[in-house]
Chain A
Amino acid sequence: GESVGLHLPTLSVQEGDNSIINCAYSNSASDYFIWYKQESGKGPQFIIDIRSNMDKRQGQRVTVLLNKTVKHLSLQIAATQPGDSAVYFCAENDDSSNTGKLIFGQGTTLQVKP
């Protein structure tokens, strides 16, 4: 798979390869993190989430890793498919105010080459 640096706006991968999308978060008090996928012309769709008491969580073909020491979140997609082409957003929640508010990153565009 291809590892990307932080804040890279576009990631291009070959179909079948693994993708890694990175995200830096700002608030050390954040206790909930979530990844969304947004296809063109649609609203964001939930992919996977993780709470701060965990450092890894797996779903179907996706894994989220949380490194609280360096405030870093990553989304790994196994065997990337053309249908994975979309913009991916990470978001964090610092719910000290109990509002459920999420703070979104700017997004990374994933392009899957056939």
Chain B
Amino acid sequence: NAGVTQTPKFRVLKTGQSMTLLCAQDMNHEYMYWYRQDPGMGLRLIHYSVGEGTTAKGEVPDGYNVSRLKKQNFLLGLESAAPSQTSVYFCASSILINEQFFGPGTRLTVL
């Protein structure tokens, strides 16, 4: 049981490049979330999903898109990366109103 995994662990992009971050969970959770964490700050919700085929905007959705084609996977896309998107990205999953299980994070730098 791997829990929540994230791919890749690190990535450096140039401004304007695109990429996709993959989150996978093997706990059969319905709910999945993407957060970003900036230095000295808490986690801010980018997008979330309450089930396969559904997505919704969180607190800071601009510049990101998501897809949940399979229950176990939640993809976060950056179509045209900007330096302001330099951050650490965390994925989490849960069963409704319970603890969220977090992945190890992806450290993204946009030059």
Residues of A within 8 A of B (CB): 9, 31-32, 34, 36, 41-46, 49, 89, 93, 95, 98-102, 104-107
Contact with A along B49-72 (1 / 0, CB 8 A): 010000010100000000000000
Interface size in chain B (residues, C-beta < 8 A): 26
Among B11-19, B78-86, B96-104, which stretch is in contact with chain A?
A: B96-104
Residues of B within 8 A of A (CB): 4, 31, 33, 40-45, 48, 50, 56, 58, 90, 94-105
Question: Is the Cβ of A99 less than 8 Å from the Cβ of B48?
Answer: yes
Compute how far the CA of A31 lies from the CA of B96 in the bound complex, rounded to whole angstroms: 13
Question: Is the Cβ of B40 less than 8 Å from the Cβ of A106?
Answer: yes
Compute how far the CA of A38 lies from the CA of B1 in the bound complex, rounded to whole angstroms: 21
Which A-chain residue is minimally distant from B56 (CB atoms)? Answer: A99
